Structure 1
Amino acid sequence: MMAVVRTRAALGLAAAMFTAALSLPAQAASIETIAKQAILIDMTSDTVLFEKNADERMAPSSMSKIATAYMVFEAIKEGRVTMESTMPVTENAWRMQGSKMFVELHNNIRVEDLLKGVIVQSGNDACIVLAEGLAGSERAFAERTTKRVRELGLKNTNLVNATGWPDPNHYMTARDLSILAERLIKDFPEHYHFYSIRDFQYHGIKQGNRNPLLYRGMGVDGMKTGHTEIAGYGLTASAERDGRRLILVVNGLPSMQARADESARLIEWGYREFASYALFKNGDTIEQMPVWQGATETVPVTVADNLAVTMSRADRPNMKVALVSDKPVVAPVKKGDVVGKLVITAPGFPGKEVPVVAAQDVAELGMVGRALSAAKYLVFGADS
């Protein structure tokens, strides 16, 4: 178990000290990229390893099809459609240009095939069939999608279509795309396998997945490429090795080859330079904290969720963990009450703070007990 140093401090002061640091990426290791926008996240510990113009509005191109797939997966989860449901191909969908699944006019196509058309073949026509099938029109679908993804935390996203077709009012950020990728993986693990399908044949036409990293044997199992003349070449990628998942978003690269090579280089750097360190599991007793006027003199404290941090391998030997709290805890105490926080620091690490909670209930003493406890405090002090 990780040893901690206990510090008596006002929780408000500790929060003020670390709020700014929590929004910063890990900075002990550094790297350059030719991408115009980029972000690399360790999803396992929600740590930003690298970012460049991550909050700059950009044309996401076909990477915004991740939002389209999210909406379809959610409709399936809610029982509004199934993988076997069929949707009609309108002339609007059939005439759509750009990358295509090659849907047939007036045909009715299974949702599962349409999803493969969107995810594997990047079919604009398949996107429109799904959008019209779920919302009546592509515009209505885009409005619903924008509203939903903003609820998921995508603060700088506005979608006006289901395909990523160029439009000045259709924009996202690299950070928003990374959040969306993470939510899709977490919310629909049963459907994430679609993103690792390497090829799909429909209407007699076989097309390969455009994600170049699927073929490099580096643990990448998703997600989506994008390209327009305005935006350049982009990729949202996800990789998993030894239980540790990284999410990368890059955009504005000059060529398909640059997209493939730069994305691979950034992911390899993230795995090589950083590591995830498990500190405490939910239920581990971090320390016994004193209780004021409680039926027991102490209460064990723990973390609400398993706690791991990601930092540069070079910083790990100098990592410090401090328990910051106002002590003693005042009874009554309920299991799960926040009673302090762990503050994790290292020289090149921006800092992380995690709430500490009571691991069990502690009842308040009766009137006589409270009087005796107060008298004891006056005679012996708080640490007696």
Structure 2
Amino acid sequence: MKKTAATLVLALAATFTAATGIAVAQDQPPQPSKPQPAALSETLPIPPAPVPGKAAAWVLMDYATGQVLAGENIHARREPASITKVMTSYVIAAEMAAGKISEDDEVMMSEHAWRTGGAGTDGSYSGFPVNKTAPLVQMEKGMVVQSGNDAAIALAEHVAGSEEAFAALMNAYAKRIGMENTHFVNPHGLPHEDHYSTAYDLALLGRALIRDYPKAYSYNSIKEFTVGPITQPNRNVLLWRDKSVDGIKTGHTNAAGYCLMASAKRGDQRLISVVLGDTSENQRAVHSQALLNWGFRFYETHKLYDAGQAVATQKLWKGQANEVRLGVAEPLLVSTPRGKYEQLKPTMDVPQTLVAPIAKGQRIGTVKVSLDGKVVAERPLVALEAVEEAGFFKRLWHEFLMWWNSL
């Protein structure tokens, strides 16, 4: 951990002790050497994010924290076009993880899937022959790489029996992810008045796929895929222009415009951009690239605490132990403008009186981290171990002490 992170730990300790009178755990990591002063360029204000031209909505999100670094109309409902297929991939991966389907399943290219999304339509297609089967993993790659509408329908029918039933699964998983302004009616993204999402929700979806199902996500980096005699390239041209880009999905209809959900990883930092309703295939790529470059240049991600790391110890009444260690159940990360890490202001909100029994993982309070008066990270503080109730006489004595202290 860098000196700046250690400094933040000490600040958290001082804030916590001053507020509660409770000692902070002393098992913090050692402080390394003093960092060099920030370069002048790191102390200058961050310039505005490059606005993606005439795009209807756009967002740039930090993957590790979920923080929105920049955006416009991020909660405005828009047609997601073929970015819908990222949700289809997520459902397939989730159902596979649950043991309900297998990547070796033989998936039928039904006549309905072929007629609705195949080569005879205006949309993109995979080329799998009608009334023939193919392994699920191959059909999925045909959907992901070639953006095959026919493959999306065939997969939906295999997983849930029909597009309608599959859409119900999509909406259920979307709700679990936190996509509050999204509703799906099909697995491919062809226009429908009740089929919509937002730039913010789609960024959440991209983040969820990368985090939860990295193998399924990896298909998005495949540059071309062949079905029979037909080889088609991935429509995400950033895969060729920027080696740090490894996804995610393009989309286009006349109503939706040109759309692109992109993700790139440079070092330990990953960003996700979503551009909806742009004016051309090239412009959606140019604008997405500009957003990613801007984000990597002016922001950085730090881990403040690991999961299970003790943040503080709190006095405990009527317990077999007289104190309990507090920490976070998941890693606490924060994205900050470069050069502003030391300006983070931590606070802890914990009860003044805590009485046993305490269950391991029980929420005790909250830790918040603010920058320039705005909360940029917030996590529950939980008990890192269980503490059982003490015996009768200790409980009686503590009852008296609690009464005495309240006078």
- TM bucket by the smaller chain? 0.7 to 0.9
Q: Are the counterparts in 1 of residues 144 and 220 from structure 2 also a CA contact under 8 Å?
A: yes
Which region of structure 1 is more displaced relative to structure 2, 329-338 or 242-251?
329-338
Out of 71, 88, 91, which is 2:111 matched to?
91
Q: Are the counterparts in 1 of residues 300 and 337 from structure 2 also a CA contact under 8 Å?
A: yes
Matched, 1:140 2:162: no
Q: One-letter code of the match for 2:72?
A: K
Q: Are the counterparts in 2 of residues 293 and 330 from structure 1 also a CA contact under 8 Å?
A: yes
Matched, 1:31 2:55: no
1:142-188 CA-to-partner distances (Å, cap 9, x unmatched) read 34323442343222222222221122222111122122222222222
Which region of structure 1 is more displaced relative to structure 2, 322-331 or 62-71?
322-331
Equivalences, count? 364
Q: One-letter code of the match for 2:391?
A: G
- Distance, in Å, in 2 between the alignment partners of 1:339 and 1:90 is 54
Per-residue deviation, 1:199: 0.6
Q: Which ranges in structure 1 are unaligned for 5 or more consecutive residues?
A: 10-26
Out of 273, 277, 290, which is 1:248 matched to?
273
Q: Are the counterparts in 1 of residues 356 and 387 from structure 2 also a CA contact under 8 Å?
A: yes
Out of 263, 288, 307, which is 2:313 matched to?
288
Q: One-letter code of the match for 2:103?
A: M
Q: Are the counterparts in 2 of residues 28 and 315 from structure 1 also a CA contact under 8 Å?
A: no
Q: Are the counterparts in 2 of residues 315 and 348 from structure 1 also a CA contact under 8 Å?
A: no
Q: Are the counterparts in 2 of residues 311 and 349 from structure 1 also a CA contact under 8 Å?
A: no
**Matching residue of 1:358:** 383
- Distance, in Å, in 2 between the alignment partners of 1:158 and 1:204 is 36
Out of 196, 203, 206, which is 1:181 matched to?
206
Runs of 4+ in 1 over 4 A off after TM superposition: 374-379
Which region of structure 1 is more displaced relative to structure 2, 249-258 or 127-136?
127-136
- Distance, in Å, in 1 between the alignment partners of 2:70 and 2:401 is 54
Q: Are the counterparts in 2 of residues 289 and 328 from structure 1 also a CA contact under 8 Å?
A: no
Q: Are the counterparts in 2 of residues 8 and 326 from structure 1 also a CA contact under 8 Å?
A: no
Q: One-letter code of the match for 1:204?
A: P
- Distance, in Å, in 2 between the alignment partners of 1:267 and 1:112 is 30
- Distance, in Å, in 2 between the alignment partners of 1:294 and 1:175 is 45
**Matching residue of 2:300:** 275
Q: One-letter code of the match for 2:353?
A: P
**Matching residue of 1:13:** none
Out of 140, 147, 162, which is 2:187 matched to?
162
TM-score normalised by structure 1 residue count: 0.86
Identity of aligned residues (%): 34
**Matching residue of 2:146:** 121
TM-score normalised by structure 2 residue count: 0.82
Which region of structure 1 is more displaced relative to structure 2, 165-174 or 132-141?
132-141
**Matching residue of 2:259:** 234
CA RMSD of aligned residues (A): 2.4
- Distance, in Å, in 1 between the alignment partners of 2:287 and 2:317 is 57
- 3-state DSSP of counterpart to 1:292: coil
**Matching residue of 1:306:** 331
Which region of structure 1 is more displaced relative to structure 2, 247-256 or 128-137?
128-137
Per-residue deviation, 1:62: 0.6
- 3-state DSSP of counterpart to 2:102: coil
Out of 42, 62, 76, which is 1:42 matched to?
62
Per-residue deviation, 1:297: 3.3
